[in-house]
Amino acid sequence: MIDIETLPDLAARPFGGTVMAASDEFFADKENLIKPEPATFQPHTFTPKGQQYDGWETRRRYGRTDGHDWVVVRLGAPAIVRALVVDTSFFVGNFPSHCRIEGLFAPGYPSADELTGWFELLPESPLAGDKANVFTVDVPWRVTHVRLHILPDGGVARLRVHGEAVPDPADLVDLPADLAATLNGGLVTGSSDGFFSPPSNILRPGESQVMADGWETARRRSPSHDWVTIQLACESRLRVAEIATTHYRGNSPDRVALSGSAGGDWFPLLPETKVQPDTTHRFRLPADRPVTHVRLDSHPDGGIARLRLYGRPTDTGLTAVTERWTSSARDS
Domains and CATH numbers, the chain: 4-165 (2.60.120.260), 169-317 (2.60.120.260)
What is the rounded average pLDDT of the residues 73-92? 97
Angle at 329 between CA 323 and CA 332, to 5 degrees: 85
pLDDT value at residue 34: 98
Contact 297/273 with Cβ under 8 angstroms? no
Instruction: Please state whether the peptide bond connecting residue 290 to the residue before it is cis, i.e. omega within 30 degrees of 0.
Output: no
Residue in 28, 34, 33 with CA at minimum distance from that of residue 13: 34
For the CA atoms of 128, 90, 121, 187, the dihedral, rounded to the nearest 10 degrees, stands at -120
Q: What is the share, in percent, of the chain residues with pLDDT greater than 90?
A: 89
pLDDT in tens, 263-283: 889 999 999 999 999 999 999
pLDDT band at 284 (very low <50, low <70, confident <90, very high): very high
DSSP H or E segment with residue 122: strand 119-126
pLDDT value at residue 256: 98
pLDDT value at residue 43: 87
What is the rounded average pLDDT of the residues 184-196? 96
φ/ψ (deg, to 5) at 121:
-100, -40
pLDDT of 332 higher than 70: no
Contact 154/28 with Cβ under 8 angstroms? no
- State the first-to-last Cα distance of the chain, in angstroms, to the nearest integer: 27
Contact 137/120 with Cβ under 8 angstroms? no
Note if the pTM is more than 0.85: yes
Angstrom distance (rounded) from CA 131 to CA 157: 10
pLDDT value at residue 50: 83
pLDDT band at 131 (very low <50, low <70, confident <90, very high): very high
Identity at 181, one-letter amino acid code: A
What is the rounded average pLDDT of the residues 87-101? 97
Q: Which residues of 108-128 are buried (b: 16+ CB within 10 A; e: fewer)?
A: eeeeeeebeeeeebbeeeebe
pLDDT value at residue 1: 59
Contact 318/234 with Cβ under 8 angstroms? yes
Residues comprising the chain, all counted: 332
Identity at 242, one-letter amino acid code: E
